[in-house]
Amino acid sequence: MVEKGKMERIIKRFGEDKILLALYRYYISDITFEKAAEEANVPVYFLVQYVNDNNLPIVLTEKDVTDGIRKVMILMRKEGMDICKLHIPISA
């Protein structure tokens, strides 16, 4: 488990926007969780803790996908990121 202060330093160093964009791609099934950590330039264990700390789901069902996309977009808005141009998949 990463200590809270260390977690904040890692987020500040690598940028929460990179983490959120990588997680967004993970939720739309564009990349794997491991690839998301690689793209965010953080260790997998850090990304797991970030997901847990922010109550984000690991994808197992369709509901996890929709919940993950919704929650990541909320976090993006809080960070001041422009989410207007994000591709939002529509399931059939």
Please state the pTM of the whole predicted model.
0.83
How many domains in the chain? Answer: 1
Task: Say if 92 falls within a structural domain.
Answer: no
Task: Say if 59 falls within a structural domain.
Answer: yes
- What residues make up the domain containing 27? 4-78
Task: Say if 32 falls within a structural domain.
Answer: yes
- 92, pLDDT greater than 60: no
Task: Say if 90 falls within a structural domain.
Answer: no
Q: What is the pLDDT of residue 13?
A: 72
- Tell me the pLDDT tens digit for each residue of 51-68: 999 999 999 999 999 999
List the alpha helices (DSSP H) in the chain: 4-14, 16-27, 33-40, 44-53, 62-78
- Tell me the pLDDT tens digit for each residue of 2-55: 666 667 777 777 688 999 999 999 999 889 999 999 999 999 999 999 999 999
Task: Say if 88 falls within a structural domain.
Answer: no
Task: Say if 87 falls within a structural domain.
Answer: no
